[in-house]
Structure 1
């Protein structure tokens, strides 16, 4: 089937090949992986794909190769702003020839685990990236062939854990300021629901004490510009930080 939903004919792989001046086998190889192709060849095929607005027929490819070309990103239902992370995941997937489906079920780890198992066994996706905790016993219950990656860097609401909440750089920053001669500091903290914000706040206070400095205060914010302005306005006029 080569018709689009708007009535326009879908461009074919042979048309891409003809416009790029390569064989249709080369375009087929390009769609599987960009590796091994010469830069000039990649540029010509890229240009042809853009000009023709070519999109692979994923249904036909999946019937032919038994692969779906689809990945799922599993995440909590309510999170602050996952857009940059999803944009990065989708970009990496597209480069590898995959499309991404975002799945955000209601509930906690139990509901996410059930949805993950359903996706893994459905045969509709080739891989699943879980950006929130799932039940630890899930590996024993998977029957499908989908590759599964579970990030250990986020909690139930995608708040940073592990390496992402490491506050060691705060010590280095405070020490660096002390070496430059600064003796009076001020800390604008992030949302204290996040382990990373709590760890950095604690590290700041510890470093100030360790290096014999003076803190004119800590302002607990929420990472917004409004709270940044509020923090500046809260500074004591006669004892400003350096």
Structure 2
């Protein structure tokens, strides 16, 4: 028979699982009547917190929980790779917990799973408002760093906006003024920030974003975005996509439509997907160092853990040793000057 979980206790006591978690963590702001119901449920179900929970408060664990939102997408997956490599480099072990990001319940379940085990800290990636808001509302006993909208340390501007602006500036420098844009899903920070930076740069230069189509980060959605355009909308001289996969889809659809790339249509993406350089023509893109971002954040978290736990000696590698990450334009053959 499986041992009872905090969810079983919550149902027995008629409270939320967050309340049970707070009780087990020693949170004092629980009403006496609620506390009594939780205690009675714990006794009836014979629930016993494991030893790891007690060790957690002593900061003796070398495990870090990585709450990975939308890990199936390219950028988030590379961030997690950077995190796990840095964690291992600094002598820690990472436990990766997937978060689907569709609702707050998935975030709560991931945090609960992490805190029920012996972890020294949590690094959470957040791609949407739903995930970020839920993470920020949780009260934890261990350090947590949230990877959401990263600000460039030099300019103070969101990295996503810088990326979008750099893509627009490249097309504008080539003389393009009538441009189409394929965005990512509206709920994603990356989609909103990249679009904001792109549109602002085009507007500042007196250009026009003739049409906008929303994709889902897949090549198929980029292909369908071009297919769905009216004839007059296809008269643009360039198309930018919020990631490389959608840009590759746009290229394929435009070629099927008889448009020569880059002679009749320039296409640019974002992220520097490995497949992009093997396209013909090879895809121009704005490169982001996702792995460097993950490594930098992991180093920050481990430094916090080291500072918080007097029993742990400081690691010889500090976060200051890691390079900052910034967007980098990679010009290939999918973009050209307007004839």
Q: Secondary structure at the match of 1:181?
A: coil
SS in 2 for 1:216: strand
1:219 aligned onto 2:195 = no
Please state if 1:173 is matched with 2:167. Answer: yes
Q: 1:87 to 1:169 in 2, by over 3 A?
A: closer
SS in 2 for 1:138: coil
Instruction: Show the 5 A alignment for 1:109-148.
Output: 114-115=112-113, 117-119=115-117, 124-132=118-126, 133=132, 134-135=135-136, 138=139, 142=141, 148=143
Structure 2 residue aligned with 1:46: none
Q: Is the 8 A contact 1:189 1:218 kept in 2?
A: yes
Distance in 1, matches of 2:198 and 2:122, equals 38
CA distance in 2, matches of 1:128, 1:215: 41
Deviates more, 1:183-192 or 1:173-182: 173-182
Quickly say closer, same or farther: Cα 1:70–1:202, change in 2 above 3 A. Answer: closer
CA distance in structure 2 between the aligned counterparts of 1:188 and 1:179, rounded to whole angstroms: 20
97-106 vs 173-182, greater mean Cα deviation: 97-106
Deviation at 1:182, TM superposition (A): 1.8
SS at structure 1 position matched to 2:64: strand
Distance 2:113 2:63 in 1: 16
TM-superposed CA distance for 1:191, in Å, is 1.2
Cα distance change, pair 74–198 in 1 and its aligned pair in 2 (3 A) = closer
Equivalents in 1 of 2:189, 2:64: separation in Å?
A: 29
1:79–1:107 Cα change, 3 Å: farther
Counterpart of 2:144 in structure 1 is 149
SS of structure 1 residue aligned to 2:105: coil
Structure number with the bigger relative contact order (C-alpha 8 A, sep ≥ 6) is: 2
Q: Which 10-residue stretch deviates more, 106-115 or 195-204?
A: 106-115
1:73–1:128 Cα contact (<8 Å) kept = yes
Query: 1:107 aligned to 91, 105, 108, which one?
Result: 105
TM-score normalised by the chain length of structure 1: 0.51
Matched, 1:71 2:67: no
**Distance verdict in 2 for CA 1:230–1:71, change over 3 Å:** same
Report the counterpart of residue 228 of structure 1 in structure 2: 222
Aligned mates of 1:219, 1:236 — CA distance in 2: 12
Query: Number of paired residues?
Result: 159
1:241 aligned onto 2:241: no
Give unmatched runs, 5+ long, in structure 1: 1-65, 155-160
Deviation at 1:225, TM superposition (A): 0.4
Q: Kindly report the root-mean-square deviation, in angstroms, between the aligned alpha carbons of the 2 structures.
A: 3.5
For structure 2, which runs of at least 5 residues remain unmatched after alignment?
1-58, 127-131, 152-157, 239-339
Instruction: Spell out the pairing of 1:39-54 with structure 2 (5 A cutoff).
Output: none
Question: If the length of structure 2 is used for normalisation, what is the TM-score?
Answer: 0.38
Structure 2 residue aligned with 1:18: none
Structure 1 residue 221: deviation in Å? 0.8
